Structure 1
Amino acid sequence: MSDNEHNIDMDRYFDDPEYRKSVMGKNKEKDPQKNNNSNDRPLKKKILLYGGLSLLLLFLLGAGYFVYLLQALPSIQELENPQTAVATEVRSRDGAVLDRYYVENRTSVTIEEISPNIINALIATEDHRFFNHWGIDLRRIAGLPYYWIQGRIQGGSTITQQLARNLYRDIGFEVSVTRKLREMITAIEIENNYTKREIIEMYLNTVEFSNSAFGIEQAARTHYGKPSRDITVSEAATLIGQLKAVYAYNPRQFPERAKSRRNIVLLQMFNRGFISNEIFQNLRQEDIQLNYQPPSRSGRESRYFGEYVRLRIQDWAAENGYDLFTDGLVIYTTIDSRLQQHAERSVQEKLEEFQPKFVEEWTSPGGDYMDEYWEKYPQFLREYMRETDRYKNAFQKYNTDQESVVFAELMADSAYVDSVKRVKTKLQASFTAVDPNNGNVLAWVGGADFGSQQYDHVHQSRRQAGSTFKPFVYAVAIDNGYMPYHKFSKFPTSFIESSGRLWSPKDPSVPAGPEMVALREALARSLNNITVRLLPEIAGAPGTNKANDLMPAARKIAEMASNLGIDMSDSQVYPSIALGTTEVSLLELVSAYTTFVNQGVHIEPVAITRIEDREGNVLEEFNPEYSQEVISPETAYMMIDMMRGVIRGGDGYHGTGVRLRNTYGVQQDVAGKTGTTQNSADNWFVAMMPHIVMGSWVGGEDRRIRFPTDDPNSIGQGARTALPIVGQFINYVTSDPDAPWSYDAFEQPPGFVMPEDPADSERDDRRGRIGW
């Protein structure tokens, strides 16, 4: 087909675009090329359609993946307020940490409280370009393939990326692109929200170290027994070296491996200019020296007291929306850490002294372990065995329902029997001290070892008070007009109970000397016979021989004890209350005695002063609860003066607490009272000074544990077990120039004159007249 057939001007076709368009439009259907394009149109449409759909799909997949990434990323609020589980601390009044409650053993500190050695070791080892990147070290990431080709597997995470993992656990720790991208995005966000200084601080407070220590402060205290601010270069390198693998580089379990890792950190510190070559060469030769404090002890010097505080605070925390184990509260208490340390030491040392003596008293020459005890109380061994898991599981193990079969099998295992005997016959002891002027608890030792026995013998355990209850009887007598010089017969008396039986309490022996004994001497010597003879007088039924007539006296004594802080129940109100059958806690007893020192005003014990959050904001304050005057200042002082005789003795007699002066050399003004229960299961001693009231108890964890009652030389007396703990405590404290202590004497109430025995005045007058 020729061009003329289409009447096309070819010159114009190439020169005139508009003409060309018109020609192309006219011949569109006749153009063979155009016809071919028309045939390809469905294919192109398909390509465009599928291509567009593919791009849309890729976009949707990318958007979906991005949304998936964002789901596990922390919110803006979480980034601005990162939450970590921080231990709540119980602190003494002088700032020492007494106990900690935690899920993760962590204490947060500011960067100013962290040694620069630690920061230098961290940056040199983990991220030496930390101050030059914005959360991701691109140079590090670009260089990773080079190391991987050489077979040197290395990570590329910056300190900020590691912090992202530590703070936001939803990011995870698995090895995947998704996790890494989330980590990077979060790291960038952290860098946008915090300064480098804040990032380092957060990192060191959140990272985990060996031996269950979370955060640098707790790591320093756990491994070296000191705060992080005091960590040396070598110690810092050891701690930071653990971060690569907290188990593998645990310096306690693998010292040589940890030393090798420490030296790598030291080398990095040298390479980055943080230490000189001389320091590096010297330190790399040193062995690792730890002062390891197990998490159970690190910052937990007083677990018994700490548990008492927790029980007191837990309801408050729940009501106010706080978690004691994660919210990092600080609970300030009245405890003085120096007194507390001396109290812990005194209890521990004295128990170590008493235990072998206790065993020896019950063991015959050449006999088996406490054979005389098991012979005297044959039922006790089987009772102890019934309380063990071994016994409880034995019926199924031996396929029997006969206890005789079980005991035959168990008794054949001598190692098991010996274990039961030794575990069940461990002595326990407790000690507490209270400031009588404000009720502040100054020291608290609830037992020998919280790890093995969690039962607190300061406030949970209630035992018969024995003779330490007698001052309440004498206080009632003084309030009823009796004076310290009034005398009663020292011989025993009996009362007829409603059942017809005789109640005949008496002293083990009648003391030598005149028949009539003054109340002052009777209390100093803890004479039961005199105390019992007071009951008819207090009851207003002198001369009675009926036990029921003594109930008014029992009620008055119970009321007195209750007013002084003893938790009394009606079931304990019997005439025998005068001899200490009432069960009390050591805390109650010591608190009651503070009333005598505080001129008759009782103050409930105070252990907690305030609670702060982790930023130092005061959340709650606690104030002592003052009660009304429960006895007159004059009665209180007369009781103090009478109980001086327990320690000093008097004309012709020794008080039961004289050992405090003769053995422990305590010469300052002190009053007190010893106590021993009838079966010698509980031994007590309370000592009073104007600035402090101290009390101690010694006995068995189990009430069936008791000292020999037929041995006058047994240590099973308040004066021989409980008193030595108090005496040792006083010796330790008075030898410590940093411990608070006062030597002030008791002062009489204004205008008060101690009443004197008229017979003594008459005798003195008579002596004067005849020239004596």
Structure 2
Amino acid sequence: MFGLWGPVPTKKQLSEINQSEASQVLASGGELLGKYFLFDRQSIPFDELPKHLVDALVATEDARFYEHNGIDGQSLFRVFFKTILLQDASSGGGSTITQQLAKNLYGRNDINKIGIVVTKLRESIIARRIEDIYSKEEIIELYFNTVPFSDNTYGVESASNKFFNKSTTDLTLAEAATLVGTLKASNYFNPRLYPKRSKQRRNLVLSQMVTYKYLHPELATNAQMDSLQLDYQYFNHNRGVATYFRETVRKKVSAILDTLRDENGKPYNLYNDGLIIHTTLDFKMQQYAEEAMLLHISKLQQSFENSWGNQAPWIKNKSLIQAQVKKLPVYKKLLKKGFTVNQIMDSLNLKTTKEFYTHDSIVKMQASVIDSIQHYMKFLNTGMISIEPATGAIKTWIGGIDYNAFQYDHVTQSKRQVGSVFKPIVYTAALENGIDACSYFSKETITYEGGYTPQNTTSSDDEDPYLNYSLKYALSNSVNTIAVQLHMETGIENVIAQAEKMGISSPLPKVPSLALGTAELSVLEIVKAYTAYTNDGFVSEPIFISRIETKEGKTIATFDSSNSEEKAFTDDTRHLMIDMMEATVNSGTAKRLRSTYGLQNDIAGKTGTTQDNKDAWFVALTPKLTTVVWVGNDLNIPFRSTSLGQGANAALPMFAQFYQSINRDGNYRNITNARFESLPEHLQAQSECEDTKRDGFFKRLFTNPDKPKEFKEKKKKGGLFSIFKRKDSN
């Protein structure tokens, strides 16, 4: 009492108990996405504790709880004589719920036989002081919020969510008895690890409830007949739903909290203060996206590996493998110690038991560090995001195939060549700079300054050299040569200015090849740019946190959507661009959305494939959702063929399978049934012009189709233009 064996908390200190609590990340519908914690704990008030849970605790742990003042003298006397005098290790703890609470709050240091008596006395003093300050209900509440459960979980609310995926309020009698049963020995009676043992303990708890008149025998019998059904939730930072998203939220919230102070002027702590972080992510939609990703990528990975066969770079390319080895900290450490390269490589070839990620599971095998590097070199990765264009609210976020194996976010951190998904920006700039949507261009091959000669992905040798194509046809079929011609006629500076109006902030190269997406941009930048097409021409600023609250429910930060101050382009351009990109889905490079996947929704889109088939993209626009998908290898190992690596094959199916899922879910009818605006009447003619137009007689007479074409620039009022002027449709 006087602190001879260490300090004992005063009543004042006990009245100011403030336990560390996990901060929660919630989806837009209130579903728990994950937690940030030092101890996995979240509080729940007494009035939300089910009566059968409280009764189970009292009946099992402290039958005279409502009668004593914190100390059960009879139990304490038994412990003293049986443990010390008779040396009976099975005598039991003898602690009341209040004494256990004292242990939960302040822990134990001494574990020898004399030390346990001192500890019990110390806890008795604390228990008496707790009883003087708090009511019995408040003690029960404190107990349930601090007691450790299985799997390093603190507090019944966290345990309920972890083992049964529900709030404590919704626990059944059998579930409540299961959790109370683990308190005797949280690991020994862990229902995940030892279900049979846990069930036996649960049934004993139910019997105790009958013994102390808390439960009718018939109800106990029925509960004992229930099978032990867990709905286990992993709240590991590297596991579960939306792992990449949660890490982005963690970084953002940490930065926000640095600018905030509580009512006492102290900074908030993400890991201790039990904050509630509300996000824009749609929980079910995220699950659909992740399911679609795993389904598609696992099949694509197999095709990718099969296409390379024994010639795979992760097998044959020794210089590529060694380059990855040299990045390892262990390699650098050994090199610094004076070991030769050969000695280091020999040591890294020694085999030990290692865990390897696959799309289906984690497998153990005998392997070396070199084997591990080769294993992970081969994986295709992905970035996928869906955003609500009207608000900027991010609804799904996939930063990669597995956060535990690849902690690199391909939504924000990765920048890759964007390929043909940049073409709509070129076409938008062209329309904004006065080029008519019914302009016609030839597919002819032209050499530009510096010897750059873009080619189309499909041969056009057998095509009529005098045939010209509309902008709508050229975009929907992703004709490279026409995209570059249009880019040059519009003016590179004008195209870059248009991209910046659409929210592109990364530097863009001032070269003809920009039209084909040689710029390196992030998935987030692309989705931001495309929001303007379905947001009345305004660019939406992506947001993923709506508000942050304290554990008491006080809002300390809010985040609203915002649009660009000015429209990125006119309404006429917006209507025409959506019309062109709808053609991409209906009859162009993305037509398998209709033919293969049977999607009949209003969808506009653009596929993208980069040089040497290293990157595959797909952008999907629906009236209320904008989605971007990227697929590729982190080491730029290309797809072996265009048929395998093109955006329509490597990226589009992820969106298609995702959208099939939300089509089947009636809760998303407001998204899937939404329709694009009808094309205004004054634009109908530009939408309905013929796909092709043949040069007239005199043009054919004086044009030599076999003569190589070279691009030449002339100075003209209004900027640069090509000698290959647009050809009017009239």
Taking structure 2 as the reference length, what is the TM-score of the superposition? 0.84
Partner of 2:477: 525
The answer to whether the Cα contact below 8 Å between 1:97 and 1:301 also exists between their aligned partners in 2 is no
Q: 2: distance between equivalents of 1:574 and 1:648?
A: 31
Equivalent residue for 1:127, pick from 49, 62, 68: 62
Among residues 516, 519, 544, which one is paired with 1:579 in the alignment? 516
Say which SS state the counterpart of residue 434 (structure 1) adopts.
strand
Please tell me whether residue 598 in structure 1 is matched to residue 530 in structure 2. Answer: no
2: CA distance between counterparts of 1:307 and 1:680? 30
Matched, 1:448 2:378: no
Structure 1 residue identity aligned to 2:456: D
| Higher fraction of helix | 1
Q: Is the 8 A contact 1:117 1:231 kept in 2?
A: no
The answer to whether the 8 A contact 1:171-1:183 is kept is: no
Separation in 1, partners of 2:679, 2:445: 36
Q: Deviations over 1:408-439 (max 9, x none)?
A: 67569794344432221111122111111111
> Does the residue aligned with 2:180 lie in a helix, a strand or coil?
helix
CA displacement at 1:452 relative to structure 2: 1.4
Q: 1:234 to 1:744 in 2, by over 3 A?
A: closer
Q: Please, which of 573, 595, 605 is the counterpart of residue 635 of structure 1?
A: 573
Q: Is the 8 A contact 1:473 1:557 kept in 2?
A: yes
Q: Are the equivalent residues in 2 in contact too, given 1:334–1:607 (CA < 8 A)?
A: yes
- Partners of 1:113 and 1:181 in 2: CA distance: 33
Where does residue 268 of structure 1 map in the other structure? 208
Change (3 A) 1:254 1:79: same
Determine if contact 1:564/1:592 at 8 Å carries over to the other structure.
yes
The Cα RMSD (Å) is 3.0
Q: Distance in 1 between matches of 2:481 and 2:533?
A: 24
Q: 1:161–1:183: 8 Å Cα contact kept in structure 2? A: yes
Code of the residue aligned with 1:270 in structure 2: it is V
Residues 617 and 406 of structure 1: CA distance in aligned 2, closer, same or farther (over 3 Å): closer
Provide the C-alpha distance between the structure 1 equivalents of 2:240 and 2:42, rounded to a whole number of angstroms: 13
Deviation at 1:162, TM superposition (A): 1.4
The structure-2 alpha-carbon separation of the partners of 1:333 and 1:680, relative to structure 1 and needing over 3 Å to count, comes to same
Q: Aligned residue for 1:94?
A: 29
What's 1:80 paired with?
Answer: 15
After TM superposition, give the deviation of residue 659 of structure 1 in Å: 0.9
Aligned to 2:677: 747
Matching residue of 2:139: 199
Other-structure match for 1:481: 434
The C-alpha deviation readout for 1:380-401, integer Å capped at 9, x for no partner, is: 22223334466556669xx974
Q: Pairwise mapping of residues 335-484 of structure 1 onto structure 2 (< 5 A)?
A: 335-363=281-309, 368=310, 371-373=311-313, 377-388=317-328, 391-392=331-332, 401-404=339-342, 406-407=344-345, 415-416=367-368, 417-484=370-437
* CA displacement at 1:117 relative to structure 2: 2.9
* Bigger mean CA offset, 386-395 vs 597-606: 386-395
Alpha-carbon distance change, 297 to 264 in structure 1, aligned in 2, over 3 angstroms: farther
1:684 to 610, 617, 634: 617
SS in 1 for 2:289: helix
- Give, in whole Å, the separation in 1 of the partners of 2:476 and 2:168: 53
Distance apart, 1:147 and its partner CA = 5.5
Quote the residue 1:115 is aligned against.
50
The answer on 1:329 being equivalent to 2:275 is: yes
The equivalent residue for 1:20 is: none
Bigger shift: residues 632-641 or 604-613: 632-641
- Does residue 494 (structure 1) correspond to residue 447 (structure 2)? The answer is yes
Distance in 1 (alpha carbons) for counterparts of 2:81 and 2:333: 63
Q: Is contact 2:313-2:637 (8 Å) kept?
A: no
Deviation at 1:219, TM superposition (A): 1.4
* Partner in structure 1 of residue 706 of structure 2: none
**Secondary structure of the equivalent of 2:576?**
helix
Structure 2 segments unaligned to the other structure (5+ residues): 261-266, 352-365, 694-730
Measured against aligned partners, the alpha-carbon deviations of 1:427-477 in whole angstroms (never above 9, x if no partner) come to: 112211111111111111111111111211111211111111111111110
The structure, 1 or 2, with the larger RCO (C-alpha pairs under 8 Å, 6+ apart) is 2
Residue number in structure 2 paired with 1:37: none
Counterparts in 2 of 1:222 and 1:483: CA distance versus 1, 3 Å: same
Q: What amino acid maps onto 1:318 in structure 2?
A: D
**Residue identity opposite 1:141 in structure 2:** L
Unpaired segments ≥5 residues, structure 1: 1-64, 540-552, 650-654, 764-772
Q: 1:120 to 1:668 in 2, by over 3 A?
A: same
**Partners of 2:484 and 2:316 in 1: how far apart?**
30
- 1:337 and 1:113 map into 2 onto residues whose CA distance is 25
Task: Give 2:179's aligned residue.
Answer: 239
Q: What's the % identity of the aligned pairs?
A: 36
- Secondary structure of the equivalent of 2:686? coil
Alignment partner, residue 636 of structure 2: 704
Q: Does the residue aligned with 2:606 lie in a helix, a strand or coil?
A: strand
SS in 1 for 2:620: strand
Q: Say if 1:259 and 1:536 are closer, same or farther in 2 by CA, change over 3 A.
A: closer
The residue that corresponds to 1:62 in the other structure is none
Q: Residue type of the partner of 2:536?
A: Q
Contact 2:108 2:119 in 1 (8 A): no
Instruction: Give the counterpart of 1:180 among 111, 114, 120.
Output: 120
Question: Residue by residue, what CA displacement relative to the aligned partner does 1:9-52 show, whole Å, maximum 9, x if unpaired?
Answer: xxxxxxxxxxxxxxxxxxxxxxxxxxxxxxxxxxxxxxxxxxxx
Alignment partner, residue 27 of structure 1: none
Task: Name the structure 2 match of 1:159.
Answer: 97
Which deviates the most, 245-254 or 168-177?
168-177
Structure-2 separation of matches of 1:85 and 1:79: 15
In 1, the alpha carbon distance for the partners of 2:191 and 2:347 equals 46
Larger Rg: 1
Work out which of the residue numbers 192, 215, 223 in structure 1 matches 2:163: 223
Aligned residue pair count: 662
Deviations 1:347-392, CA, capped at 9 Å, x for gaps: 11111221111111111xxxx4xx3445875532222333446655
Measured against aligned partners, the alpha-carbon deviations of 1:129-163 in whole angstroms (never above 9, x if no partner) come to 11222222234334545755774522232111211
1:723 to 2:675 alignment: no
Q: Structure 1 residue 621 and structure 2 residue 558: aligned?
A: yes
Distance 1:82 1:752, change over 3 A: farther
CA contact (8 A) 1:224 1:291 kept: yes
CA deviation after TM superposition for structure 1 residue 173, in Å? 7.6
Of 151, 155, 158 in structure 2, the residue corresponding to residue 211 of structure 1 is: 151
Distance change (3 Å), C-alpha of 1:427 and 1:663? same
Check conservation: 1:656, 1:719, Cα contact below 8 A: yes
1:53 corresponds to = none
- Tell me if the contact between 2:618 and 2:648 (Cα under 8 Å) persists in the aligned partners: yes
Cα contact 1:222–1:298 (8 A) shared by 2 = no
Counterpart secondary structure, 1:738: helix
